């Protein structure tokens, strides 16, 4: 086949190439053109090669002479502009620099952040719960303790639907409720807390996939409703809500521990990352309460409230020697182990938070003050005839005309007129100061929630009638606990003891907060008068205790409804001590709004005092100081007031 002349155009030459060579060469040339159009580094290195190969195939002699000369291809002589090459180099360098910078940022500058984020995905801090401390009485008897229970958790993806019915039955919950809880998107859901050990064991026997139990605890109160207002209760998170559980919550709670672990994607613990910090369990709180006396007081109070169809009642029992609270009972009460139907009336700790006009139980204060100032003696005579006494436009009445009688008899028969005359012979400021010394108008120093202070109006605002009525318990307000504390001064040498509910050895040793409010001689005189009040002719005969000499003061205070006093609604009170030879106990009783004809303090509250005091003295092993006799039946006696 003849050669193609050298001056023949490229187009002509290409047209003479056999078709089988065009099939290979043409794509190579096109590819080279495409690569060149994008000006990328691949074009610089590969484009000329591909283009040369294609052009060579197209310009070979038709006789396939391997040594035939090849015409120059324009692609082979193409060159990139210098600025484009520099730009490519700069871009490549910038890319590598950014990668290096990012690596430095992640590995060095912001290392702690990314380490923390990584740890969050697998490392967990598990809080180790501290066991809540116990509450015990003065003898170590249990009043509150934490029992081991369990939380039941479920993994919805693993829990079979057929297991819903038996599981719901064991958990005492509707099947629909259980199904609803495990129907969400959560990987782990809580089914129930505080499940007892027996129920948890039955669940384990079912061997259900996706069910896990976690250790938990539940507070248990052995004394139930008898000590509910003292001990209080906790919520489901074990935080104190009422009573000692609240006031001593910090002591009881302890300090939780910590455990840092690594978990896998299924939440299983693989290993610990550091030694665990053990939990510090809560302290045991020792109360001054005597569980036996507490049960006795509550039982007698409950019986009396039911007997007189009263709204409520309270009993406070103090150790006369130091002011320690041996019992503090209220009715209505509640079961702290089952609070599903708890009401506000049941929850109210009336002996501590309720204030009211104390009535005649406050009369010994003004008598003692008059004795201390030398204005009268126990045998001084005072005239109460004709049974009423006018003070300006107001009139003070006694239940009957007692005529002339001694100061001791005036307290025995609870004469309002005698006390009004004594009060008006004293400066108002002197009476107010003495009430303050006794703690009236100030909250007792008791670590307990809701302790009431009561109220005594400033003396500068007293009118003569108010000065008189405050002497026999109207125009001021106190709590039952405050009244019981007042009587600690008369049980001993005239020293007022602070009340306490938790044992405190340091405080018991120092007793620096005691205050002498009257002289020992006056205290002894008041004790003698109080003993007369429970004897023949006194208002508190129903408070007597066989085998023991007792003394006390009755009180019957009208209840205030709105701005006026109700005619047929009362609070019946009795406060006393025993045995009178060496007082060991002070017992205060209040029955709120008794129904029926019996409403006087001596009739309603006196028998409760008798039962509680007699039983408590026997429990404490206090020897009798009087012969056991039949109940007295005096022909004449003073009316209960």
DSSP label of 108: I
What is the per-residue pLDDT for 12? 42
Tokens of 359: 């009535």
End-to-end CA distance of the chain: 152
Average pLDDT over residues 145-168: 87
Q: Does residue 33 have a pLDDT over 80?
A: no
Report, as residue numbers or ranges, the catalytic residues. 360
Q: What is the Cα–Cα distance from 478 to 337, expressed in whole angstroms?
A: 31
Residue 19, H or E segment: helix 19-38
| CA 446 to chain CA centroid, nearest Å | 18
CA distances from 516 to 126, 435, 490, 576 (A): 55, 13, 11, 20
Output the CA–CA distances (angstroms, integers) from residue 378 to 118, 326, 408, in the order listed: 86, 32, 5
Please name which of 631, 626, 630, 456 lies closest in space to residue 549, comparing C-alpha atoms.
Answer: 626
43 backbone dihedrals φ, ψ, rounded to 5°: -65, -40
> What is the pTM for the complete model shown?
0.77
Lowest mean pLDDT among 257-266, 270-279, 632-641: 632-641
C-alpha 132 chain-centroid distance = 13
Cβ proximity of 493 and 515 under 8 Å: no
What pLDDT, on the 0 to 100 scale, is given for residue 11? 44
Maximum distance among all Cα pairs of the chain, rounded to whole angstroms: 169
Query: Which CATH fold would you assign to the domain 291-335+344-619?
Result: Beta-lactamase (3.40.710)
Pick the CATH number of 126-286 from 1.10.3720.10, 3.90.1310.10, 3.40.50.1470, 3.40.50.10880: 3.90.1310.10
Q: Provide the pairing of β-strand 135-136 with 142-154.
A: antiparallel
Q: What is the pLDDT of residues 402-416, one digit of tens each?
A: 999 999 999 999 999
List, for residues 335-374, the tens digit of each pLDDT value: 999 998 899 889 999 999 999 999 999 999 999 999 999 9
- Residue 273's Cα: distance from chain center in Å? 34
Q: Where are the domains of the chain?
A: 10-78, 126-286, 291-335+344-619
């Amino acid at each position: 086949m003849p050669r193609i002349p050298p001056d023949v155009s490229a187009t002509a030459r290409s047209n003479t190439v056999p078709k089988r060579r065009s099939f290979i060469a043409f794509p190579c040339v096109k590819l080279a053109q495409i690569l060149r159009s994008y000006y990328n580094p691949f074009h610089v290195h590969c484009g000329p090669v591909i283009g040369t190969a294609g052009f060579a195939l197209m310009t070979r002699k038709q006789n396939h002479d391997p040594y035939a000369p090849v015409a120059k291809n324009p692609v082979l002589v193409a060159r990139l502009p210098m600025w484009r090459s520099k730009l490519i180099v700069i871009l490549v360098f910038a890319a590598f620099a950014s990668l290096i910078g990012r690596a430095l940022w992640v590995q060095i500058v912001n290392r702690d952040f990314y380490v923390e984020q990584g740890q969050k995905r697998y490392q967990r801090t598990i809080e180790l719960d501290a066991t809540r401390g116990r509450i015990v009485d003065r003898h170590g008897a249990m009043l509150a303790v934490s029992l081991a229970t369990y939380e039941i958790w479920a993994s919805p993806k693993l829990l079979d639907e057929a297991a819903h019915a038996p599981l719901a039955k064991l958990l005492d919950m509707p099947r629909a409720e259980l199904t609803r809880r495990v129907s969400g998107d959560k990987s782990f859901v809580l089914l129930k807390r505080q499940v007892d050990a027996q129920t948890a064991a039955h669940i384990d026997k079912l061997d259900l996939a996706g069910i896990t139990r976690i250790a938990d605890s539940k507070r248990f109160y052995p004394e139930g409703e008898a000590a509910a207002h003292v001990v209080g209760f906790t919520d489901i998170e074990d935080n104190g809500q009422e009573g000692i559980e609240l006031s001593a919550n910090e002591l009881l709670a302890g300090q939780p521990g910590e455990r840092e672990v690594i978990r896998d994607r299924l939440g299983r613990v693989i290993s610990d990352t550091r030694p665990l910090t053990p939990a510090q369990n809560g302290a045991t709180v020792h109360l001054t309460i005597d569980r036996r006396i507490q049960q006795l007081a509550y039982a007698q109070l409950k019986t009396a409230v039911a007997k007189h169809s009263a709204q409520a009642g309270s009993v406070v029992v103090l150790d006369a020697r130091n002011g320690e609270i041996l019992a503090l009972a209220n009715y209505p009460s509640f079961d702290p182990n089952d609070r599903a139907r708890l009401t506000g009336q049941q929850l109210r700790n009336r002996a501590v938070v309720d204030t009211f006009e104390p009535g005649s139980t406050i009369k010994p204060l003004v008598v003692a003050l008059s004795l201390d100032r030398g204005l009268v003696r126990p045998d001084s005579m005072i005239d109460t005839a004709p049974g009423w006494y006018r003070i300006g436009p107001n009139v003070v009445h006694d239940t009957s005309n007692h005529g002339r009688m001694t100061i001791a008899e005036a307290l025995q028969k609870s004469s309002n007129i005698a006390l009004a005359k004594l009060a008006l012979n004293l400066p108002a400021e002197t009476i107010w100061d003495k009430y303050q010394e006794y703690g009236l108008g100030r909250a007792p120093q008791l670590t307990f929630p809701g302790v009431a202070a009561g109220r005594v109006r400033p003396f500068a605002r007293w009118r003569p009638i108010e000065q008189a009525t405050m002497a026999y318990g109207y125009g001021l307000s106190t709590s039952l606990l405050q009244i019981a504390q007042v009587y600690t001064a008369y049980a001993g040498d005239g020293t007022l003891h602070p009340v306490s509910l938790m044992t405190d050895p340091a405080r018991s040793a120092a007793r620096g907060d005691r205050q002498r409010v009257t002289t020992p001689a006056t205290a002894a005189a008041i004790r003698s008068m109080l003993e007369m009040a429970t004897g023949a002719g006194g208002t508190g005969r129903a408070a007597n205790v066989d085998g023991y000499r007792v003394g006390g003061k009755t009180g019957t205070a009208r209840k205030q409804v709105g701005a006026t006093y109700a005619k047929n609604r009362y609070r019946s009170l009795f406060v006393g001590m025993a045995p009178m030879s060496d007082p060991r106990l002070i017992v205060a009783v209040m029955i709120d709004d008794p129904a029926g004809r019996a409403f006087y303090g001596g009739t309603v509250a006196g028998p409760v005092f008798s039962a509680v005091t007699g039983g408590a003295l026997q429990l404490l092993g206090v020897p009798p100081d009087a012969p056991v006799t039949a109940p007295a039946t005096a022909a004449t006696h003073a009316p209960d007031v």
